[in-house]
Structures are given as C-alpha cells and as structure tokens.
Structure 1
Amino acid sequence: MWPPHPCVCHLQIQGQELSGPSEATKNSLRKIMGDHLDLLMGVVLMASPVFGISSCSLDGRIALYRFCNLTQVPQILNTTDSLLLSFNYIRTITATSFPFLEQLQLLELGTQFTPLTIDREAFRNLPNLRILDLGKSQIDFLHPDAFQGLSHLFELRLFSCGLSDAVLKDGYFRNLKSLTRLDLSINQIGSLYLHLSFQELNSLKSIDLSLNQIFTVCESDLKPLQGKTLSFFSLAHNNLYSKVPVDWQKCMNPFRNMVLETLDVSGNGWTVDIAGNFSNAISGSQTFSLVLAHHIMGSGFGFHNIKDPDQNTFAGLARSSVTRLDLSHGFIFSLSSRLFETLKDLNVLNLAHNKINKIANEAFYGLSNLQILNMSYNLLGELYNSNFYGLPNIAYVDLRKNHIGIIQDQTFKFLEKLNTLDLRDNALKTIYFIPSIPNIFLGGNKLVILPNISLTANFIQLSENKLEKLDDLYFLLQVPHLQILILNQNRFSSCSRNQSHTLPENLSLEQLFLGENMLQLAWEAGLCWDVFKGLSHLQVLYLNNNYLNFLPPGVFSDLTALRGLSLNSNRLTVLSPGDLPANLEILDVSRNQLLSPDPKLFASLSVLDITHNKFVCACELTSFINWLNQTSVTIFGSPADIYCTYPNSFFGASLYSISTEGCDEEEVLKSLRFALFILFTVTLTLFFMTVLIVTKFRGFCFICYKTAQRLVFKDHSQRTEPDAYKYDAYLCFSSKDFEWVQNALLKHLDTQYSEQNRFNLCFEERDFVPGENHIANIQDAVWSSRKIVCLVSRHFLRDGWCLEAFSYAQSRCLSDLSSVLIMVVVGSLSQYQLMKHQSIRGFVQKWQYLRWPEDLQDVGWFLNKLSEQILKKEKEKKKGNNIELQTVATIS
C-alpha cells in the first residue's frame, strides 16, 4: 500500500490524543448535524436499489422499511433485532402496535411525515430494546408512561421532536435503569427542573440539551443529578445566562456535587462578565473539559468597548480540576498577563479562531502542566522571546493560519519538551528561530532559502514555499535523525553545489516528498544527478509533477531500500533498463507519455499504476499487452484508463481489448515483403503497359472513347445553337493549301460535305461573292462568323490577303473584347518565322495557338479539340485597359 499522505502523517505524528476530536467536539457535531443525519441516511437508502438493497424488506434480523409510505407498523418476524421505520406516515404507536419481539434491540421511528402520538406503554412488547430513535418526528402527544417497560434501554434519541419542559419534570424517564445516553437537543424546553426520578437513573452518563430555550439553570433544577458522574453534559446554544439577569446568590452552583467529564456551554453568547460569574458559581465542581467555544468575549480587531478576558475571568475554576479548556471561535484580541494562572491542571488549551494579536508577558504563567496549545487562525504577526514563558511541559504548539512574519530567535528555545511546532500558512522568510524538535511544520510560508543552522528533527514539512536551490535539499538530507521530509509545491530547479564533494550517507530518512517542483530544469542541465546518493534507507519517494522527460542514468542506484516510487503527471516517454530500483514494489507512472513500455521493467512490482499514458497500439506493444493480461501484479485503476491514443482507429480502446494476433514479427515481415514485391511489380507493369498502349495506339483509343461517348449519350452530338452569326467559323487559309484543307478539315467539319458534320463554315473559294471587293468579302466573313480560324502555313505567310484577314480578325478581338481568333500553325514553321510578321508576332506574344499534329493518329483528337474551341462561348471581361481572352492549349 502507498504510505499515508503528508496530512495523514501530520495526524499520526501528533498522536492519538491530538488526532481525534474530543467528546465535546463529537457531541457538538452530532448536535449540529442532527437535523440532517436522518435525512441524509434516507436519501442514501432511496438510492439503495441501485446497489441491490430493497428499501422495504426484511431478512429475519434486519427489517428495513424506510420510505415505504407506511401508516402503521408492518408484520415483523420475531427474530428481528433491528427495525428501521423512518420516513413514513405512522401516526400512532400503542401497546399493541408491535408484536412481541424479544430480540429487537434497535428501533428507529424518526422523521415521520405526520405528527406522532405515542400512547401508554407503547413499547412494552420490546423488552430488550437497547436503542430507541424518535428524532425529528413531531410528537403531538407523549404519554408519561410511554417508555415504561424498557428496562434495558441504553440510548434514547428525542432530538427535534417539539418537546416542552414537561418531558423533564413529569417523570417520563422513570424506571429506565439502563439508560446511559439521553438526547433532547433541538426541542422547546425552557426550564431545566428535573423530576426526582432522574436520581434513580444510575447508568445515565450523557445528556444533550443543546439548542433549546433554557435561559437559566440553578442548583435546585439539577438537584436529582447530584452525586452522579456524567461523561457529557451539553447546554450549548441556549442563550444560557445571556437573555435574563441572574441572581447568583440565589441560583448558586447548578453542578454542585456533580462530576462532569465534559461540560459544553458553547454558543450561548457569553461576555467576559458572564463567563467570570459562571466560573465563580461552579467553583469546586469537578469539570475536566469545559467547552466555551463560539463566545463573544474579546474586543476583536478595532473594538475597545468590549473586554478581553483577564486573570479574574477564570479564577473561579481553580478548584474544578479543568484539564481541557476550549475558548475557540471568539473575538479575543489580547491575552493578558496571568490570564490562566489558576488553571494549574490544564493540559489542553484551544484558542483557535479568535482575533489574538497580542500576547502579554506571563500570559501563560501558571500553566505548568499544559501540553497542547492551539492558537491557529488568529492575527499574530510577531512572536517574542517572552511569549511562551511558563510552559515547561508544552509538547504541541499550533500556530497555523496567522500572519507571523517575525519570530525572535529564543522564542521556542526554552520549551524543552516541545515535540511538535506547527507554523504552516504564515509569512515567514527565515527559520533561525527553529529549535531541535522532532516535528516541524513550516508549509505555506515565504521561505526562499534555508540558513545553515544546526537542526535535528524526525519530521520536517516545508511544502508550499519558494525554495529554488537544490542546495537546500542537500542541507536538509543531512539533518540528523530525519525520517520524513515533505517539500511538495516548491520551486526546486537550480543547483550550484560542487558535485565533486562526497555526500555523507543518510541512514534515517524513510520518506521523501518532492512532488510539484521543477527538477527537470536542473537535471536537463546535467546538475544534481547525485541528489539521492547515500539514501540507503529511503522507502518512499514522490517525484510527481516535476516536468520530467527523462531520468538521469543511475539517479536511483543508491536507493536499495526503496519500495514505493511516484512518477505520475510527468512527461516521460520511455523507461530504460536500469532506470528503476531493483527492489521496487509500488510504482506510479500514471499520466505520463509512455508509448511502448518494456514489461521487464516491472518484474519486481506488486502494485503498478500506469493509467492515462499515450500508448501506441502497434505490434511493438505486443509484449506489454500480453504481460498486462497475464501478470499477477496489481494494476491500479480501471481497465478503461489504460487505452490507446494512436492510431486514430484505436483511439480510446482499452489495451485489455486489443488483440495481438498477426503480430509475429518474422512472419509479418516476410508476408509484408512478399506482398510489397508483388504489389510493386504488378503496379509497375500496369503502368508501363498503359503508357505503351496510350503512346502507340492513342488514335485508336480516342476513336473508342468517342464511340463509347456516342453510345452512352445516344448519339446526341453537340450542335451549334442558333445565334446572330451567319457562320460558325471563317476558315482563313492560302488558296495554295485548299486541297489539303479540304481533305483535312472541311470533309470532317463542314455540314455541306457531310450530314454528320456540325459546322457551317465560311471559306473564300465557296462563300466569297464574285466581283465583290476582296477586302469587303474578308470583312464580311470576319464579322459574320462566331470564330475565325487562321491556318498559318508557309503559303499563308506569303499571301498578303491572308495576313490582311489575320489583322481584321485581331481587330474583331479588340472590338468584341473576346478571343474569337484561333490560330493553327501548319507544317514545320519555327517561332522565329512566325515572329517575322508584325501582326502575327503580337498575337503569339500574348496568346497561345494550336499546331497541326505531325502524327496522323492524333488528327481525330485535334479536330475534336478544335471543334470544342469553335463551339466555346466567350465571356467579356474588363480588367483595367487590357482585354482578357480565353486561351487555347498548345498541341505539341
């Protein structure tokens, strides 16, 4: 198991007497929570079906009938020893309500939702009843003989039942010879005049009358209790003696001839005068523990019209043998001189949660037996050498949550039996004043560096300070007899120690807490890798939240006794062989970034927490997954917290659900190599075959493509749509190229050559008007056609009319703001030959042009592209003063 948290260590070190609450505290909590306890239990039991427990059932011994809408007691087996009937609607309890239940010891009837009537001898059929709980049930009628016949009743709970004074003065508790605990808190009792039958209750030890309306208690009221010893008597939160004036001469000592182990009179609004009068009144009565918490004594911070207690306030307690005094939760500002002088037997003094700012000289004079002093949660700013004079046997001083910034160096030096000093959550910047004592708490201060002082301790707590240099850690590791060192939440990140110096071996340190620091900054600089050298007896080490992304080689090599190591919430991605101590039993590496841990590292462990890491669920993780499913090591956390983060297809999947089949490395590699070879070969072969086929038979491929296209679209060839143009295109070429143009273009495009063709073309030999001016014919052809196709050949460049037509086509482009001119270069004309002609040079420099294919099998594809360009409608766009035309890809 993990060692206790530092806070738990604190409680253990203080000892059993300090760690557990006093009986007065327990009863105060019980009183305050009484209103809510049954309700809370009821809520839990309402949810009990979730856990497989029925809320209306009996099993022979326990009959559970909470929240069952009962209006009367159900049939119960005579073997039942616990009957729980709270949270129902039972209205009346009579002598016949219960069958004879000889074995019943616990009856719970509290928190009925309707007013309750309890008749005479209502529980006579329950002769061995030990605990009767009627708490939080509004009792409209309670017969004086209601509890008769309960000779074995040990505890009677009547809190918050709306009871009046009559329950005490009319003998309701007669003949309850075994009654030990009586709870009458939170009722409407205004007078404490007790019936003489209380004198017969020889077993009575605890009476709780808190949270009633008892304004005064005098000697005559409690006369039936004289001669008795009570472990607990509470009159808390009654406004006792604070609402009405009291004539103490007539009232006298209410606890005369009584022994009270704990008397709780807290929360009654007592001033110094009331507390002094009460102390004088009970003088001589044995009261071992007096609880005066939640008082209004003291001037507080800035109020001078209310008195702080003085040496006369508690003088009357001189003969009361008070060993515990609780003055917490008040407004005491100053502890006056010899304030507690008469309390010679006092062992525990609680002054927590006041406003104490000043401690006068000899304030604790006379407390020679005091062992525990609690002054936490006050307003102390400075402590002086004389503050704690007169405390020769003090063992524990609690000064938490003050504002202490200055302490004189001799303040604690003369407290020879001081065992524990708690100075947490103050404003200390140095510790020159610290004596050599076993247990020191200095967390939550402002310590930046530790002075080189002589120090001896078993336990040191320095968490939540501002320590930066690991040199201070080396200093603390040399403190003699140190067993537990807590340094969480500091800033350890630098080191200036000369690492050539040999560290002495520490044979006492067993637990070291270094969580929530910044050791990574020092270690990544190559410094202080020997910080754990010589700690051969260290058993527990916390290094959580230190930003660690690696562990220095051999950093744990000297930790031969280490059993528990916490590395959680760091940035470790890998753990290497030799990183962990050989005898480690408990390891916490949760919330790191481990990808594929080696299970051999965990061979010595009995408990492992490896949750919330970033596991890569690939075949490299096979050995760890197999180990995880077979190991006898206790894996901390839920299986759902050990999950994959990569690849995305496995994100969030538990490692316990991942199959490792197919991860045999050799077989997988062999199959993978063969599969890759086949895939590469087939892909390469197909690629080359495709390239070869397309290269050699691209014409045939294009014919097949067009045929398939006609079949799919049912031969709906693209026709030109009627528009304002007379011709689809004007073919401008040299008359010397007519035969070639006719065979290459006209037969495949012009509708007059074949009904299968799609274009109405214009060319000179057929469509120019004879006798008309040639320039006029050219202009008419250019402006009457959607597109102008110029077939530029060697003859074209020598033909003046063709060049003139080219110029008119360019003019048309500028006029229409569209690219209507399609230039097709025929033959082996070079760029230089084209650029020699000014009109063509301007076009070539700005626009792309087509080139007639040299290979015959590309002609079909070329004609198709040319047709698409003729059919293509141009959009007019203006961009500045330039005209942007749709370009045509060059065919090479």
Structure 2
Amino acid sequence: MGETYLYFESNDLTQLPNTSTQDYNNLRRLHLANNNLTNIQINQLPKNLEYLDIRNNNITSLDPNVASFLLERKDNISVEQSGIYWKCNCNNTSLLNYLKLKEKEEDYDDYMYHEINSRVNFHHIKGPCPESCTCCVNGYEDQFIINCTSKALETFPTLPNKILGEPSLLLDNNLIETLSTSSLRNSTLRELHLKHNSLTHIHLDQLPSNLRVLDIRQNNFTGLDDDVTQFISKLSKVQLSENPWQCSCKFIQFLAHLKKVNFTEYQAALRRCSGQEYCPELCICCKEDESQRFIINCSNLGLPEMPAELPITENATLLFENNNLQTLDNSTKIIGLNQLKELHLRYNNLTKIEVLPKNIQFLDIRNNSLTILNESVREFLTQKSNMSSLTIFISGNNWICHCKEIRFFRFTKNLAENIKDLCKTECHDSRLFVSLEEIDLCPEKIPRYVIYFTSFIMLSCLLSFLQCFWKSIVMWLYEKRLFLKLTTRLEKGTETKYDCFLAYCHKDSHLVSEYVERLEHGRNRLRLCFYERDWLAGEPIPDCICHSVENSKCIVILMTKNFLKSVWGRLEFRLALHATSKDLYKRLIVIIYPGVENFDELDGELNSYLKLNTYLIRNDTNFWNKLIYTLPHKIINEDEDIEMINIEH
C-alpha cells in the first residue's frame, strides 16, 4: 500500500483505539482536530506516523511515553496542537522539552504547504509561557509555576494580571535591576522568587497584592520603604538575607522588622554604619544620612528606666520619649551614657535629675513632673553653655516660682539664649517665666504703718464718697431693682386702690404716655390713676378728683403753664394739699416743667407751698431716678404676669 491518511476531524471522538494492526501502524497522517480527546497513550499512536493534528481537543497533558516518542522523532513527526491549553506537570520533563521545541518550530507544513500555528498555550495564563521560561503544574493542579531561573534575564517578564490557581514566579539567578511597574500590583501571583539578582529598590505597586511568599535574597537592597515593610510583615514567608542592608533612619520601620525576623542581618546593618553590632533590646538604632547622628530610639515603649548599656559611638543620640522614667540620679549607672550628645526625655514622669551626659549638647526634658533643677545640674549646664553650643527645652513641667528658688529663676534668665522654649515655659501657678522679674518672686516688705495709713485714707475717701452720693446711689440701685431689701422703703398707711394719681391739664395729655411707660410698664409696675382712663363718664369732676386723691398713696402734679391756667388744675392741687395735711402718709409730688419759672406770679397758696417744699424739675438729668425713688416702693416678682393697660389710641 502507499501512504495512508486518516481524516477524522470534527467528531465526538474521546479516545484513540488500542490497536497494533498493520494497517493502523501504516498510517502516515492522523487528523483529529475538533474532537473531545482528553489523553493519548503510546499504544494508540501508529508506529509510522509522520503528522499528528490534535488541535482544539480537550487534551491538557500527554503521557511521558508519548512525549518521549514525539521527542525522539522530532525530525520525522510534525504535530499541530493549537487550541490546546496545557497543564503540564513539572515532573514530565519529556513533555516540557517537547513543548519548548514546538515553540521554536517554524510555522509551516511541508506536507500540506500551508502555515500552521506552533504557539504553545498554557491553561493557567491563557496564553504562551514567557520567553525563556518554563510553565508547569507542581504537585497538584492549582500550583502553577513560571520558572525563569538562571536565564540571564535583564527585564521582568511580561505576564497577564490574572493567572489561575496558585501561581509562583521563579526569577532566581538573573540580572534584573528593577521590577515591572505595569500593573504588577493587580497580579494574582502568590509567590515571587527574586534571589540573586541586581535589585536595589522595590515599590509597593511592584508587589502583587495577593502575594504570600517573597524571596529577595542576594540582591543590592539597602532598605525598604515603610509601606513595603508593612506589606511584607503580613506575608507568610519573607527571605531577606545577604543584602547590603544599611541602618539609615529613613528605613527605621524596616530596621525594626529586620531586627524581629532576622537579627543577624540587623546586626550586619549596624556594623556597616557604626562599626558595632550592639543595640539595646526593644530599641531600634539607626543613622541619619544628613547629620550623621547615630540614633538610639527607645521611645513609646513604656520603659521605667533607661537601658543599662548604650552603644559607644560618636555623635550618639538617645530618644527616650513617652516612657515611665521617674529619676535620673547619681545611682544611675549606664555604660555609654557620657558618650551621648543628645538626650530626649519628653513625656516621661521625671521628678529629679542629678546626672547628665558629660558630652551633652542637646537636652529635652519637656512635659515631665520636674519642679526644680538642683544646683549641681544648673552649674553643669551653665558650664557647658559657656564651652560649647547647648540647646535646652524645659516647658511643660511644674516649675516652682517663689523666692526660695530664686537661683533657679536666675539660671533660666542667664541661659535664655540656650533655652529655646523659655517663652512657653510656665510656673506651677501658670505664670510665664518671661513675664516675671526677681521682684515678682521676692517683693520688698512694706512697713506696716504705711499699710495702716493707706488703708485709713482709702476708708475715709470711701465714707466721704458714700456720704456725698448715698442718696443717688440708693436711687440708682432701686431704679435698677438691685439690693431691694436694702433700698426699698417700708410704706405705711392704709392700702389704696392706686399708687399714684396724675394731675395735669387736659392740654398736656401727651405727657401722660411716658409716665405710663416708665411707671406702669417699667420695673416698678405702679398703679396709676388719670382722668382719661380711670374716671367714669357722667360723674361730677370735683367728685372724681376727690375720689382719685383719696384712693391714691401719692398725688403727682405735672406743673406746666397750661396747668397754672386751669381752674380744675388748681382745684386738684388744693384737694391734694388738703388730703396730705390730713393723712401724714399721703405725699404730694410737684414736677415743674419748662416755662414755669417765676413763682411770685402764682396765687398765694400755690406760691407758699413751692417756697416751703421740695419739688422735681423735669429737665433734671437724674429726674426718673429721683421720681421712681420718691413714689411708693413695691417689691415686684419679675416673673409675675401683670396686666398692662395700653393708653395709646
């Protein structure tokens, strides 16, 4: 027979027959595209096969024997596998090697003289494996590995964001200097192995958010940013060793993490920047890049005392803020204390300081419970300020400011240029240091006779003032309703219907409203009587006048030019005068208005009264105080609701 080709495309074939007949073995081309094949065994392939088309089937892997068979006959057998998404086990090296060969094949069929697609796609990435890398499944189907180890790669391989399963990317032993910045943060990678590359820096957006394992050993890292440190601290496994880590203070959060997870590497970092490996337990040591200060950071740990030993190095600074340190006395024995140039002790509970580092150049004791600095400490700081630059902060303490501690006050004044927060420093009684002088703390004693004499003069002046203005003061207090029990006059006589009867000429009716407003509606709330409102129509005027005078405690006469010309006005005056002469508790109050000046022109009875009795002048600036105090006194509850009569029409 000649060459035999079998076309069995686009059917529902699920597996090849297990046969070894001569005719089947003589098949040269086997076209099986677009079926439902899931696997192929070695005994299912024709022995003389030269072409195999398994495109668009459900095959995800090949038996190692089949892969070896194809690999051995790679020059004699052409295989088309487009549309297949491989799940190749990492132990199936034959299949892996064969697929590598397929990726390098030319896309051309010598038999059919047409182009073929040799692209090898993988199920987990829905596409080809990155160039130079190997993609396979390790152990179980979800553990997908992209192995690019030892490929001399200089750039990060291009990968899709979404990779199925539990993907791991192995990039050990390459020449990569930086990671990809193209959405790597959104990648589904779970493991990232970067051992032995040339990486110097890594950003948070270069780390997949779902990452669980990170290996960056044997690179050129000197430190990691805070956000990266926070991220890797939550990973299940991180390998950081064999990097040239530096103890720069800009990486202090990373140094704290490194000390916790890999103490040996932390010691190496210290050795690189300070020449020694020691840092107190719980504290973090680092070196500032610009100032070259070696920082021993023991802040915010709630420590009751300072470390017993400090690193002995130049330009050392101890940060011991926000702890529970109470004393720094002569019994304090700390190795390396005298090497310190800066001592930060803010927010502790310090009550006593007796010893300070001999090389001190900066002292911060703000926000403690100090009340005084003893003489030896003051002398030491004064000496240091004269010899070198010295900076001190002392505010937020309970400094005692009185004459017994005047020397401490003088110390602060003498070192005002060194104490940078003196303008904010307060005494225990909240007085500012800068507002005080020595005389404020130690005032001169004043002789007793000067005090007695001054007191006598002041008392005499007060009594003279009260004598001269007593009446005006009482009137004012009463008008303002103040101290009513002292200023209110006890009214005698029988109770009447009205407190006051206003007598005036009918031509002066416009004057009544201000009396109603001030006396009835005001604070005193007096009951007024005047003819326009309170007299009954049809009653004889003389009877109304008599009735109003008898039923009022006082009679107020508005003495105007019109009143003097009025017959009824004169009758009101005479009746009022007669009533007051009969009732000693009834008062007659005359108010003189402008225009009434010459009393000699008045009739004899009115003239005699005004010459022998006092009266009020309407234009007096203190008129209302005098009038209100002269009228009947009443103690009124301010909360009472009293019905007021509106006289406006």
Per the shorter chain, which TM-score range? 0.3 to 0.5
More helix by share: 2
CA radius of gyration, larger in: 2
Structure 1 length-normalised TM: 0.28
Structure 2 length-normalised TM: 0.36
Q: Could you say which structure has the greater relative contact order, defined with CA pairs below 8 angstroms and 6 or more residues apart?
A: 2
